[in-house]
Structure 1
Amino acid sequence: MELDEKKSHAKVIASGIIPFAFIILMMAYIFGPGSDLLDLGIPLPEITIEKVDFVDSEIQATVRNTGPIPVEVAMADVNDRIQPAAVEPDRFLERYEVVLVRIPFEWNEAEPYIIGITVEDGTRFEKKIDAAAPALEPTVELAVFFAIIGTYVGIIPVMIGLLWLPFIKKIKKSKYHFFLALTAGLLLFLGIDSIEEAIQVSDESLADSFNGTLLVATITVLSFLGLYYTGEKLVKRSETSRLTKPVAIALMIAIGIGLHNFGEGLAIGAAVGLGSIAFSTFLIVGFALHNTTEGIAIASPMSREKTVIWKLAAMGMIAGSPAIFGAWVGGFVYSPFSSVIFLSIGAGAIFQVIITILKWIRVEGDKNLSSAAVASGFAIGMLIMYATSILV
């Protein structure tokens, strides 16, 4: 009997492996004896100038080979004028390899420049810089500056939003459902905003070979699934631990908002590095108004929990402080690829939190999620975020 079961088990395993074996054989043939099938047409070179830094009397371009064939950097130009250039580590790039092209040039701050790179077959690629700005160098003063800006646009607004807690605690259940739905509406807007920003960054700075839109979709879905699994475990754990369900939900909301604010910090740091943003009082106020609503999202589930100040402070820090770390990363070691990844992760986290909130509303008594309080809260949440986003 046991022998029959082992044979049956082996057949199941074999039936699962055989299709993979045929796939491997097919790929081995295509890239081996059948490689002539892939030689139709002429492969064209393609490089992407991912980043341009202005350092002292030099322009530094980070160049990646994003085409199907190896390339050699032949020369560089600035505003269509050929300039001497050094390529580190060398001029030859395999697919996806990165080099640094250093161009000695007396550039002027705030002036526009077009940086061109030509490969060995004469094909030229360029990147336009609207206004030259000195590359940021990590210093204590600059790190403190980013920390202050991150505090203004991340931590302080969230903490202000948490001040809604006493009001939400005293309202009736129907109005409480309104605020939970309002929270979901706020977060839905943030999720869509994160996806829009990620796609915009991919369109502007990533080569087509990275399939930016599909990359955003893939990372968003994987982030959603991973955090959904984690969130469910956290909520279930709250039933047998000192961590209550409202606190577990508020914690997931804070984590989702924190991931979003990390992406927002990346954008802020990168914008400062490119010299394309002026931090006027109006801009800071716009960010503050926009992000204050994030505090309401955390306060809503926490209103059904015995309030402890340190819990609120911890939630606020989890949600707001990533803006500081994002600003540091964006300002000092910005990468468009990592920016797309983190923005997409933030979007997936936020969508997971929305599902958690809707399930919490059902547990609280609104089984069909179609009451006037829920529908109006969802709509008003999105309208509030849109109205405050205009100020940013």
Structure 2
Amino acid sequence: MELSDKSSKGKLIASGLIPFAFLVILIAYIFGPGSDLLDLGIPLPEITMEKVDFIDSEIQITVRNTGPIPVEIAMADVNDRIQPAAVEPDRYLERYETALVRIPFEWNPAEPYIVGLTVEDGTRFEKEIEAAAPALEPSLELVGLFAIIGTYVGIIPVMIGLLWLPFIKKISKQKYHFFLALTAGLLLFLGIDSVEEALEVSEENLAGSFNGVLLVATVLVLSFLGLYYSGEKLISRAKSSRITKPVAIALMISIGIGLHNFGEGLAIGAAVGLGSIAFSTFLIVGFAMHNTTEGLAIASPMSREKKVIGKLAVMGMIAGAPAIFGAWVGGFVYSPFTSVIFLSIGAGAIFQVIITILKWIREDGDKNLSSAAMASGFAIGMVVMYVTSIFV
């Protein structure tokens, strides 16, 4: 009987592996004997200039081979004039390999430039820079500046939003559900905003071979599923521990907003590094107005709890502080691919929290999610976020 069971398991495993074996044989044939048979058309080269830095009397271009074939960088030009250039580590790039192109050039701040690279077959690729700005070099002064900016646009607004807690504590259950729906509306706007930013970054800075739209969708769904599973585990633990369900939900909201603010910090740091943004008082006020509503989103679930000041402070830091870290990463080691990943993760986290909030409202007694309080809360939350986003 035992031998029979082992034989059945062996057959089961074999039946599962057979398709993979045939797939391996097929791929081996395509890259081996069948390569000539399937070699249709002419593969075209493609390179992507992922980053352009202006350093002292030099233009540095980080380039990646994003095409199907190896390429060799033949020459570089600035504003259609050929310039001498050094390529590190060398001019020959395999697929997805990167190199640094260094062009000696006396550039002027705030002037537009078009930098071009030509590969060995004569194909030229170019990137337009609207206004040249000196590349950021890490220093304690700059680290402190980014920390201050992140505090102004991340931590302080969220903490101000938490001050709505006493007001929400004194309202009726129906009005309480209204504010929970308002929270869901605020978060829905943030989620859509994260997706829009991720798609914009992927379209402008990622090569087509990375399939930016599909990358955003894949990371978003995986983030949603992973955090949904983690959130359910956290809520189930809350039933058998000192952590209550409202606290667990507020913590999930803080994490989701924190991931969003990290992506926002990436964008801020990168914009400062490119010289395309000036942090005027008006702009900081706009960010503050927009992000203050995030504090309201955290305070709403906590309004039925007691002794929450310390917990709210921690959650405010979880939600706001990532803006500082994002600004550091965006300013000093910005990567379009990383930016798309984090913005997509943030969107997935926020959508997961919205589902959790709606489930909680139903469990709390409001079975009709299409009630006037729910609909108006959702709508007002979206409108508030849109209006405040205009000032950013």
Q: TM-score, normalised by structure 1?
A: 0.99
Rounded Cα–Cα distance in structure 2 between residues aligned with 1:308 and 1:344: 31
Q: Which residue of 2 aligns with 1:332?
A: 332
Structure 1 letter corresponding to 2:201:
V
- Name the residue aligned to 1:363: 363
**Mapped partners of 2:181, 2:293: distance in 1:** 13
Matches within 5 A, 1:291-330: 291-330=291-330
CA contact (8 A) 2:72 2:93 kept: yes
Partner of 2:237 in structure 1?
237
| Aligned 1:57-72 pairs, distance under 5 A | 57-72=57-72
Say which SS state the counterpart of residue 260 (structure 1) adopts: helix
Establish whether residue 104 from structure 1 lines up as the match of residue 108 from structure 2. Answer: no
Q: Matches of 2:172 and 2:249 in 1, distance apart?
A: 20
Match of 2:42 in 1: 42
Q: For the residues of structure 2 that align with 1:15 and 1:238, how far apart are their CA atoms?
A: 43
User: 1:149 maps to what in 2?
Assistant: 149
RMSD between aligned residues: 0.9
| CA displacement, residues 147-172 of structure 1 (integer Å, 9 cap, x when unaligned) | 00000100001001100111111111
Partner of 1:123: 123
Partners of 1:178 and 1:12 in 2: how far apart? 54
- Write out aligned runs for 1:187-202 (5 A): 187-202=187-202
Mapped to 2, the partners of 1:362 and 1:21 lie a distance apart of 49
CA distance in 1: counterparts of 2:6 and 2:176, whole angstroms: 58
Q: Please name the residue that 1:346 is paired with.
A: 346
Q: CA deviation at 1:216?
A: 0.4
**Matches of 1:95 and 1:57, distance apart in 2:** 30
Residue 4 in structure 1 maps to residue 4 in structure 2: yes
Please give the secondary structure, in 2, of the residue aligned with 1:163.
helix
* Matched position secondary structure for 1:164: helix
- Deviation, 1:32, is 1.4
One-letter amino acid of the structure 2 residue matched with residue 185 of structure 1:
G
Displacement of 1:31:
1.6
In 2, the alpha carbon distance for the partners of 1:38 and 1:169 equals 69
**1:284-295 alignment, distance < 5 Å:** 284-295=284-295
- Distance across 1 between alignment mates of 2:7 and 2:170: 66
Q: Structure 1, residues 24-71: CA drift from partner, whole Å, max 9, x if none?
A: 121111221111243100001100111000000000000000000000
CA deviation vs aligned residue, 1:105-134 (integer Å, no higher than 9, x gap): 000000000000011111110000000000
Distance 1:167 1:24 in 2: 64
How far apart, in 2, do the equivalents of 1:346 and 1:149 lie?
A: 20
The amino acid across from 1:187 in the alignment is L
- Rounded to whole Å, the distance in 2 between the matches of 1:378 and 1:15 is 51
Could you list the runs of 5+ residues in structure 1 that have no partner in the other structure? none
Cα deviation for residue 310 of structure 1 reads 1.2
Deviation at 1:3, TM superposition (A): 2.8
The residue aligned with 1:282 is 282
Structure-to-structure mapping, 1:21-100, within 5 angstroms: 21-100=21-100
Instruction: Extract structure 1 runs of 4+ deviating beyond 4 A.
Output: none
Report the Cα distance in structure 2 between the residues aligned to 1:258 and 1:12, rounded to whole angstroms.
Answer: 46
1:297: Cα distance to partner? 0.6
Deviations 1:219-244 (A, max 9, x none): 00011111111111111111111111
In structure 2, what is the Cα distance between the partners aligned to 1:327 and 1:219?
22
CA contact (8 A) 2:267 2:327 kept: yes
SS in 1 for 2:82: strand
Give the deviation of 1:217 after TM superposition: 0.4
Q: Is the 8 A contact 2:185 2:378 kept in 1?
A: yes
Amino acid at match of 2:100: L
Gaps of 5+ in 2: none
1: distance between equivalents of 2:8 and 2:266?
Answer: 54
Q: Give 1:378's aligned residue.
A: 378
- Segment of structure 1 superposing worse, 55-64 or 362-371: 362-371
Q: Does 1:134 align with 2:134?
A: yes
Contact 2:178 2:373 in 1 (8 A): yes
Residue matched to 1:208: 208
Aligned residue identity for 2:67? G
What are the Cα deviations for residues 304-333 of structure 1, in whole angstroms up to 9, with x where unaligned? 211322111000000000000000000000
Cα pair 2:238 2:245 within 8 Å, conserved = yes
Cα drift, residue 5 of structure 1: 2.5
Task: State the alpha-carbon separation in 2 of the partners of residues 170 and 35 from structure 1.
Answer: 73
Length, aligned pairs only = 392
Q: Give the deviation of 1:363 after TM superposition.
A: 1.1
Provide the rounded CA distance (Å) in 1 between the counterparts of 2:295 and 2:253: 10
3-state SS in 1 of match to 2:36:
helix
The separation in 2 between residues aligned to 1:49 and 1:43, in whole angstroms, is 20
Q: Is the 8 A contact 2:302 2:308 kept in 1?
A: no
Structure 2: how far apart are the matches of 1:34 and 1:307?
A: 71
